[in-house]
Amino acid sequence: MEQLKELTKGATLIAKKELAGYFSTPIGYIVISVFLVIAGFLFFSTFFLYGQAELRAYFELLPLLFAFVIPAITMRLFAEERNTGSFEMLMTLPLSTSEVVAGKILAATSFAAIMISPTLVYAISVAFVGSLDIGPVIGGYLGAVLLASAYASIGVFASSMTKNQIVAFIIGFAICIVLSLITKFLYFISPKLVSLFEYISADYHFQNIARGVVDSRNIIYFASVIAISSMASIYQLEVKR
Amino acid sequence: MISVRDLVKHYGEVKAVDGISFTIRKGEITGLLGPNGAGKTTTLRIITGYLKPTSGMVSIDEFLVDQNPIEIKKRIGYLPESAPLYPDMMVYDFLQFMADIRQIYDKEKIKDVAIQCGITEVMHKNINELSKGYKQRVGLAQAILHDPEILVLDEPTNGLDPNQIVEIRDLIKELGKEKTVILSTHILQEVEATCNRVIIIDKGAIVADDSTSDLKSAKGKDVRVNCVVSGASFNAIQSALQKIAGVKNVQHIKDEEQLCHVQIVTGLDVDVRPQVFNCIKDNGWILYEMNREYRSLEHVFRELTVGM
């Protein structure tokens, strides 16, 4: 318990610093703007076509959008530190590697949460024009935060591997896009394997939650992605020294 | 007390550190001296827990670096080579961040350290706007923020202008009064000016480990006395001085108008200056200058690392 308290303390400090870092340069604002433009296009292009009071089109494409945007958020977290050399200072502070990794994931997830929060306006505007089913909206946003934290931990892992931010982005993007799209290619695969692929697909678990059904299996999936990527990051950071 | 035992570090095929052992007692300013690529930075990085040694061990007080890294890191203030800081942060925010991590909640502490390191006027600038000298000082401020018992400084004056170098050296000397300081450098004057102990490293191994003054007057070496004399030719001076007990050789340096520059070579154990003075006086010559040349650290360094 005492250890957990220490862990969250160090992680919170790192997260606060990184989150402030996103907004001290234009990059944070650019990423948010790009995300909102694309999300807005996805939402409004179908909103008037279907004439239904729901956010489904927006949530359906969110994993794909996140697979692109989240690695862009996380790519600098360790790669930049390795590149400027501040990594050496960070690693000689009285913090454990797990605190640092947890802090960086927390920062990227918080940034993603800030980034998607303006889209709550869509839910509000939908509620004005029709009767909004609140379940899928709550599920959708809960799922979005879980998805963001899972992709953020993958992105942090990608960033921990290299000192080149572009490489970090490409590795993170590659892993996230596979997890987002893997269920879309299931037509050619034997039905026995389908459930396996569904299990490793982030999109599948996200869509389940976004339907408004929160199942422990979906939560466990995201928790395991976060745990595995964090451990892989810690391994990377401790070994490459 | 820092204790380093049989430290070995390989980078793939390259042996960066090859069996280094030393002990640093409390309150010493120790200079780790060596040519570029000798393994100084690697050694410091292992002491601070950034790198893991291939074999060997480092302990600080009763803690081992590989078993209690957090305890060790709390006791060390570290300034890495070329002071890598967070470029997008404001100096004040950066120090505040460091203070938070070190769990220092005394607001005055940041101010005190800023005054001590002379960075009060740049506290509200971004780190990437600072000159190299200021960056180095912010790095030093960060290292002493938590009043560590041990200060590890990797090339603390690298890239600074002469005034800044003097300031940083004075600051290190000041800090060395109450802390154990270990610094690395390839500049000999730095060690002569700041350290009371020097460890010379070459190709990953220790080639000398002694107090700065002992190293300069190593046994079995010659001492030179330079004289400027007028009133006689070199040959006359030479034959007169040769008779003095302890003089090994008298060499002619140059003639300058009426003045004859002479160098007398003696053993370390004798001081011939009184006899030389009396000899010149008795002959009715005039002595313009006389000085005893100490073996410079530069000599020692070149002897040990190049074999000259």
Range of the domain at A138: 2-239
* CB-CB under 8 Å, B51 with A10: no
Q: B199 and B61 share a domain?
A: yes
> Using a CB-CB distance cutoff of 8 angstroms, which residues of chain B are in contact with residue A95?
70, 101
Distance from the Cα of B77 to chain A's closest Cα (Å) equals: 9
User: For residue range B68-111, what is the model confidence (pLDDT) as tens digits?
Assistant: 888 889 999 999 988 889 988 999 999 999 999 998 888 899 99
The strand order across the sheet containing B286-293 reads: B247-256, B259-267, B222-230, B286-293
Contact A96, A7 (CB under 8 A): yes
Residue that is last in its domain, among B201, B216, B231: B216
- List pLDDT tens digits, range A204-223: 999 999 888 888 999 999 99
Is residue B111 domain-shared with residue B193, that is, in the same domain? yes
Q: Is residue B307 part of a domain?
A: no
Q: Test A89 with B82 for CB contact under 8 angstroms.
A: no
Half-sphere exposure at residue B191, Cβ-oriented, CA atoms within 13 angstroms: 27
Q: Among B149, B182, B216, where does a domain finish?
A: B216
**pTM confidence score:** 0.83
- Which residue from B112, B66, B76 is spatially nearest to B1, judged by alpha carbons? B76
For position A114, what pLDDT does the model report? 95
In a domain, B305, yes or no: no
Q: Identify whether the C-beta of residue B180 lies closer than 8 Å to the C-beta of residue B23.
A: no
**pLDDT for residue B295:** 65
B56, containing H or E segment: strand B55-60
Across the interface, whether the CB atoms of A92 and B50 are under 8 A apart is answered: yes
Per-residue confidence (pLDDT) for residue B153, from 0 to 100: 93
CATH of the domain at B30: 3.40.50.300
Residues B62 and B194 in one domain: yes
In this model, does residue B238 exceed pLDDT 50? yes
Domain co-membership, B107 together with B195? yes
Residue of A nearest to B47 (CA): A92
CATH no. for residue B230?
3.30.70.3190
**Beta-carbon separation of A88 and B100 below 8 A:** no
Name the A residues in 64-103 with CB < 8 Å from any B CB: 84-89, 91-96
Domain boundary among B185, B216, B247: B216
Q: Residue A25 has what DSSP assignment? A: S
Give the mean model confidence (pLDDT) for residues B202-207: 86
Domain check: are B58 and B7 in the same one?
yes
Q: How far is A14 from chain B (nearest CA, A)?
A: 9
- Distance in angstroms (rounded) separating the CA atoms of residues B145 and B45: 20
Q: Are residues B256 and B141 in the same domain?
A: no
Residues from chain B contacting residue A17 (CB–CB below 8 Å): 86, 89, 97
Shared domain for B195 and B228, answered yes or no, is no
Instruction: Choose, out of B58, B65, B100, B154, the residue to mutate when testing the contact with A (most A CBs < 10 Å).
Output: B100
CB pair distance less than 8 Å for B78 and A92: yes
Same domain, B226 and B212: no
**Token pair for A137:** 């909206």
Token digits of residue A10: 């160090």
Q: Compute the C-alpha angle A97/A99/A102, nearest 5°.
A: 110
Q: What is the pLDDT of residue B225?
A: 86
Q: Are B167 and B231 found together in one domain?
A: no
Among A2, A23, A93, the strongest candidate for a mutation testing the B interface, having the largest count of B CBs within 10 A, is A93
Task: Specify the pLDDT at position B219.
Answer: 47
Cβ neighbours around A134 below 10 Å, total: 11
Give how many domains chain B has, as a whole number. 2
State yes or no: pLDDT of B123 exceeds 90.
yes
- Residue B264 belongs to what domain range? 222-300
* Residue B198, domain member (yes or no): yes
- Whether residues B104 and B64 share a domain: the answer is yes
Q: Is B206 on the interface with A (CB under 8 A)?
A: no
Nearest to B201 by CA among B53, B32, B80, B44: B32
| B102 has a chain A CB within 8 A of its CB | yes
Q: Are residues B184 and B201 in the same domain?
A: yes
- B306 within domain boundaries: no
pLDDT of A174 strictly over 90? yes
Quote the number of domains for chain A. Answer: 1
Helix axes A76-84, A165-181, angle to 10 degrees: 160
One domain for residues B30 and B53? yes
Q: What is the mean pLDDT of residues B218-225?
A: 66
Helices (H), chain A: 2-24, 26-50, 56-74, 76-84, 86-91, 97-116, 120-129, 134-160, 165-181, 191-200, 202-210, 216-239
Residue A152 β-bridge partners:
none
